[in-house]
C-alpha cells in the first residue's frame, strides 16, 4: 500500500534519511522507531510531501506521490502530530471537519460523521461538539486530533508521536481506543514513536532507524526475538524477552485439552488421573465444561467419596485471549505456579504453567 | 491566559473609570470657566467641526487598516528571510518620528488642505496596525501551520483560516491604539488646513480664550473615549470565542 524505494533526504550536505526502502501492506500499522534525530519524522513527512524527497520514490496504492499535487495528496492522507495543532478559533466539530470542508463535502453529512467519531473515542458530541479546543483537556484534545485525521476517511494515516505528550495512564487508554478504531477502520498507518513499548503494542511491523538508515524491518515479535545487531538489541532493551510476553496470547502458550474431573468423579479416579499426568491438582468442571473448582492430590490422599465432596475454589483464572504478560503478573501476585485458562463463557480451555511460558519464549532462541 | 484576560479587563475598566472621572472634573471646571456659554454660542460650529473631525478619522483610519494589515501580513512572511524583520524595524523607527514632523512633511509635498492631512494621519495610524499585525501573525504556533499544511490547506487558506483568525485579537488591539492616536492627532491637522475640532482649540489658544479652547478640546476627548468604547465592543464581539481572551 505504501512503498518507499531508495528514499534519501539530504539537508544541505547532511544525510537525514539514507537510502531507505520498505513497504507497508494495506491495513497494517508500521511504527517507525529509533533514537532522537534518526530520521523518523523526516521519513514520515516525505510521504505527504511536507518534506520533498532528495531521491528515490514513494508510492501509495501503486501511485507515485509526485504524480499528484501536494495539497491534493495531503487531503487524502490523515495527519496527526504530537502538538495536536487544533485550530483554536474553530469549534471541535469544525476542527474535525477541516478536511471534509476543504474538499467541499456535504456539511450535514460531515458533521454527522464528526459526531460518530466523537462517540467512538468516548467524547459525548452533545457536550463537546460546540466547544473550543481550549475548553478540552490535553488527552481530550489529542483524541480530537486523531479523529480529525479520520474525518474524510482517508485510506492512509500518518501519525508523528501522537500520544507523546500525554501522561502514561491516559496514553494507554488512548492507545487502546486507537487500536479499537483501527480494528474497525483498517487504515494503513505509519506511526512515529521512540517508545519501544508503544511500538510493540501498536505495530504490525516495526522499522528501526539508526542515523538515517533503516536497520531492521520486521514484526514486533521478530524484532524482540531476533534483533539483527547490538544496536537494535540495546534499543529494544535488555528485557526484550519479557516484552514479548505482551505479544503472546494465553491461548498460544497454554496446554490445551487439559485433564479434568466432574463433581461426581470418584476420588480414586481423580487421584489416578493426577498420577498419570504427574499433576498436583486438577480442575473440576460442571457438566458442560465450565471451570467450577479444583481438587489437590494431597487433600484427596486417603479420602473417600466423590470429587464434589472435597473441591475448593480456583484462586484465579485467566482469559485465553489475555496476554502472557498479564498471566505472568497474575501468577506472581497470587503466588501460583499455574493458571486455569477459561474462555469468555467460563469454559475450561487449558492450563498455563511457568515452565510452559519459559519453554515457549525459549523456543525461538533454540531454533535460531 | 485567564489571568492576563482578567488583568486586561481590569485595567481597561480602571482606564474607563478614570476617563469618566476626568470628564466629570473637566465638567466642573468648565462650568466655572465660561466654557458652557462658549459651547452654547459655538454650538453650530462644534457640530460641523465634529463631523469633519470624524470624517478625517474615518477616512484615514479606514485607509490605515486597509493598507496596514496587508503590509503587516507581508512583513511577517517567513519566506522574506531577514528582509521582514529589517523592514519591521524601520517601521518601528517610524513610530518615533514626531507627529508634527510627519504632518509638516506631508504639507511640503502635498500643500495645504484635506489630502495632506489625511495622508499624514494615515501614515501615523498605519504604524501600530502594521506592528500588531506582524506580532499577531508571528505568534501563530508553527505546529498549527504544520497541521494546516499537512491537512492540505493552500497558503491562502492557511492565511485566512488559521493565521488571521489567530492574530485577530492582537490586530484589533493595534487598531484600537491606532484610532486613539488618530483622534488625538486630528486637531493638529488643522495646522495644515485639514479642519476638524483643532480649529476651535488653536483659535482658542491664539485668542487666549479658554472657553473656546475647551469647546474644541472636550468634544475631542469625548470622541476618543467613545471611539475606544466602540472599539472595545467590536473586539469583544468580532473576535471568535475560541481565541478571544476576554470571552
Ligand atoms: N529542516 C531541516 N533542516 C536541516 N536539518 C534537518 C531538518 N529537519 C531535520 N533535520 C535533521 O535531520 C535529522 C533527522 O531529523 P528528524 O526530525 O527526522 O528526527 P526524528 O527521528 O524525528 O527525531 P525525534 O525523535 O527527535 O523527533 C536530524 O539530525 C535533524 O537535525
Ligand atoms: Mg520526530
User: Ligand 2 mean position to A161 CA, how many Å?
Assistant: 7
Same domain, residue pair A189 and A329: no
CATH number of the structural domain spanning residue A301: 3.10.580.10
Tell me, yes or no, whether A192 and A273 share the same domain: no
Residues 6+ apart with CB under 8 A from B46: B39, B197, B200, B215, B216, B219
DSSP A274-311: HHHHT-SEEEEE-TTSBEEEEEEHHHHTT--SBGGGT-
Strand segments, DSSP code E, in chain A are 2-11, 14-24, 29-33, 55-60, 63-64, 77-81, 156-160, 188-193, 205-210, 213-218, 255-256, 260-262, 281-285, 291-296, 317-319, 338-342, 348-353
Which residues are within 8 A (CB) of B136 and not within 5 positions of it... i.e. 6 or more apart? B72, B166, B167, B168, B169, B170, B171, B174
This prediction's pTM: 0.81
| Digitized pLDDT (tens) for each residue of chain B, 247 residues in all | 444 455 566 677 777 878 788 877 877 776 666 667 777 777 888 889 999 999 999 999 999 999 999 999 999 988 777 888 888 888 888 778 888 888 888 888 888 888 889 998 999 899 999 999 999 999 999 999 999 999 999 999 999 999 999 999 999 999 999 999 899 889 988 888 888 898 888 988 898 888 888 888 888 999 999 999 999 999 999 998 888 888 8
Residues A256 and A233 in one domain: no
Tell me the residue range of the domain where A275 lies: 250-364
Verify that A260 and A124 share a domain, yes or no.
no
Specify whether A51 is located in the same domain as A190.
yes
Instruction: Tell which atom from ligand 1 comes closest to the C-alpha of A35.
Output: 25
Cβ atoms B67, B122 nearer than 8 A: yes
Query: Which of A71, A76, A83 lies at the smallest CB-CB distance from B143?
Result: A83
**Is A161 in the same domain as A304?**
no
Q: Phi and psi dihedrals of B168, rounded to 5?
A: -55, -40
- List all residues 6 or more positions away from A169 whose beta carbon is below 8 Å from its beta carbon: none
**A192 and A258 in a common domain:** no
- Average pLDDT value for residue range A201-224: 95
User: In 3D, which of B130, B61, B122 has the Cα closest to residue B90?
Assistant: B130
For CA atoms A258, A261, A266, A267, the dihedral sign is positive
pLDDT given for residue A359 in this prediction: 86
Q: Is B246 helix (H, G, I), strand (E, B) or coil?
A: coil
The Cα A143–Cα A120 span in angstroms is 10
Asked if B132 contacts B139 with a C-beta cutoff of 8 angstroms, the reply is: no
Task: Give the mean pLDDT of chain A.
Answer: 93
CB contact under 8 A, B141 and A48: no
> What's the domain count of chain A?
2
Q: CA B226, CA B73: separation in Å to the nearest integer? A: 29
Q: What is the pLDDT of residues A52-103, one digit of tens each?
A: 999 999 999 999 999 999 999 999 999 999 999 999 999 999 999 999 999 9
Question: Do A176 and A42 fall into the same domain?
Answer: yes
Q: Is A142 left (phi over 0), alpha (psi -120 to 50) or beta?
A: alpha
**Interface subset of A 28-87, CB within 8 angstroms of B:** 48, 50, 71-76, 79, 81, 83-87
pLDDT in tens, A40-49: 999 999 999 9
Residue of B nearest to A154 (CA): B151
The residue out of A194, A223, A246 marking a domain boundary is A246
Burial of residue B96, with CB atoms counted within 10 A of its CB: 0-12 exposed, 13-18 middle, 19 or more buried: exposed
According to the model, what pLDDT value does residue B21 have? Answer: 81
If you average pLDDT over residues A152-169, what whole number do you get?
Answer: 92
- Does residue A332 register a pLDDT over 50? yes
Domain co-membership, A89 together with A109: yes
Instruction: Among A228, A246, A264, identify where a domain stops.
Output: A246
> What ipTM, to 2 d.p.?
0.80
What are the start-end ranges of the H helices in B139-241?
Answer: 142-150, 155-158, 164-189, 198-206, 210-238
Q: Kindly state whether residues A188 and A304 are assigned to the same domain.
A: no
A115 lines ligand 1 (CB under 6 A): no
In B189-224, which positions are buried (b, 16+ CB within 10 angstroms) versus exposed (e)? bbebebbbbbbbbbbbeeeebbbbbbbbbbbbbebb
Same domain flag for A107 and A230: yes
Domain match, A324 and A235 both = no
Q: Given A184, A211, A246, which residue is the final one in a domain?
A: A246
CATH number reported for the structural domain that contains residue A124 in this entry: 3.40.50.300
CA of A183 to the centre of ligand 2 (A): 26
Minimum CA distance residue for ligand 1 atom 25: A36
In this prediction, residue B2 carries a pLDDT of: 44
Q: Distance (Å) from the C-alpha of residue A73 to the closest C-alpha of chain B? A: 7
Amino acid at each position: 500500500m505504501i512503498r518507499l524505494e531508495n528514499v534519501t533526504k539530504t539537508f544541505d550536505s547532511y544525510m537525514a534519511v539514507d537510502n531507505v526502502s520498505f513497504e507497508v501492506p494495506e491495513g497494517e500499522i508500521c511504527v517507525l522507531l529509533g533514537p532522537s534525530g534518526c530520521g523518523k519524522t523526516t521519513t514520515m513527512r516525505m510521504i505527504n510531501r511536507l518534506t520533498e524527497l532528495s531521491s528515490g520514490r514513494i508510492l501509495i496504492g501503486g501511485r507515485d506521490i509526485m504524480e499528484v499535487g501536494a495539497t491534493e495528496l495531503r487531503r487524502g492522507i490523515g495527519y496527526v502530530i504530537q502538538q495536536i495543532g487544533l485550530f483554536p478559533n474553530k469549534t471541535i466539530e469544525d476542527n474535525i471537519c477541516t478536511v471534509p470542508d476543504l474538499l467541499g463535502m456535504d456539511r450535514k453529512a460531515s458533521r454527522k460523521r464528526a459526531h460518530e467519531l466523537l462517540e467512538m473515542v468516548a467524547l459525548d458530541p452533545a457536550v463537546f461538539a460546540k466547544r473550543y479546543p481550549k475548553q478540552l483537556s490535553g488527552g481530550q484534545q489529542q483524541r480530537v486530533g486523531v479523529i480529525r485525521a479520520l474525518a474524510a476517511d482517508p485510506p492512509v494515516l500518518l501519525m508523528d508521536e501522537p500520544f507523546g505528550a500525554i501522561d502514561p495512564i491516559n496514553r494507554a487508554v488512548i492507545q487502546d481506543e486507537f487500536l479499537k478504531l483501527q480494528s474497525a477502520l483498517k487504515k494503513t498507518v505509519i506511526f512515529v514513536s521512540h517508545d519501544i513499548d508503544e511500538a510493540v503494542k501498536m505495530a504490525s511491523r516495526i522499522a528501526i532507524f539508526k542515523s538515517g538508515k533503516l536497520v531492521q524491518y520486521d514484526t514486533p515479535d521478530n524484532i524482540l526475538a531476533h534483533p539483527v545487531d547490538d544496536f537494535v538489541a540495546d534499543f529494544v532493551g535488555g528485557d526484550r524477552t519479557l516484552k514479548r510476553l505482551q505479544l503472546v496470547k494465553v491461548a498460544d502458550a497454554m496446554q490445551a485439552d487439559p485433564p479434568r474431573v466432574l463433581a461426581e468423579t470418584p476420588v480414586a479416579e481423580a487421584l489416578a488421573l493426577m498420577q498419570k499426568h504427574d499433576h498436583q491438582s486438577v480442575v473440576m468442571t460442571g457438566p458442560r465444561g465450565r471451570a467450577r473448582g479444583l481438587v489437590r492430590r494431597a487433600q484427596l490422599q486417603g479420602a473417600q467419596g466423590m470429587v464434589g465432596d472435597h473441591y475448593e475454589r480456583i484462586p484465579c483464572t485467566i482469559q485465553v485471549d489475555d496476554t502472557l504478560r498479564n498471566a505472568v503478573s497474575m501468577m506472581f501476585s497470587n503466588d501460583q505456579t499455574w493458571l486455569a485458562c477459561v474462555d469468555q463463557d467460563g469454559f475450561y480451555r487449558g492450563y498455563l504453567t511457568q515452565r510452559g511460558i519459559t519453554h515457549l519464549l525459549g523456543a525461538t532462541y533454540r531454533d535460531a | 491566559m485567564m489571568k492576563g484576560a482578567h488583568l486586561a479587563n481590569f485595567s481597561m475598566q480602571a482606564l474607563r473609570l478614570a476617563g469618566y472621572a476626568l470628564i466629570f472634573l473637566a465638567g466642573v471646571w468648565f462650568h466655572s470657566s465660561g466654557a458652557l456659554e462658549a459651547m452654547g454660542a459655538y454650538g453650530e460650529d462644534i457640530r460641523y467641526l465634529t463631523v469633519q473631525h470624524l470624517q478625517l478619522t474615518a477616512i484615514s483610519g479606514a485607509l490605515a487598516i486597509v493598507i496596514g494589515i496587508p503590509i503587516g501580513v507581508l512583513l511577517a512572511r517567513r519566506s522574506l528571510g531577514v528582509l521582514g524583520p529589517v523592514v519591521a524595524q524601520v517601521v518601528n523607527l517610524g513610530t518615533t518620528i514626531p507627529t508634527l514632523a510627519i504632518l509638516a512633511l506631508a504639507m511640503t509635498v502635498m500643500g495645504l488642505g484635506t489630502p495632506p492631512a489625511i495622508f499624514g494621519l494615515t501614515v501615523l495610524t498605519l504604524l501600530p496596525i502594521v506592528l500588531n499585525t506582524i506580532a499577531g501573525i508571528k505568534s501563530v504556533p508553527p505546529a498549527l501551520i504544520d497541521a494546516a499544511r499537512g491537512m492540505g490547506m493552500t497558503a491562502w487558506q492557511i492565511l485566512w483560516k488559521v493565521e488571521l483568525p489567530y492574530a485577530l485579537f492582537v490586530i484589533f488591539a493595534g487598531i484600537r491604539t491606532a484610532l486613539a492616536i488618530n483622534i488625538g492627532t486630528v486637531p493638529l491637522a488643522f495646522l495644515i488646513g485639514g479642519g476638524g475640532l483643532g480649529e476651535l482649540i488653536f483659535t482658542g489658544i491664539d485668542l487666549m480664550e479658554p472657553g473656546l479652547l475647551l469647546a474644541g478640546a472636550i468634544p475631542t476627548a469625548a470622541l476618543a473615549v467613545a471611539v475606544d468604547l466602540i472599539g472595545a465592543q467590536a473586539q469583544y464581539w468580532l473576535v471568535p470565542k475560541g481565541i478571544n481572551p476576554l470571552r
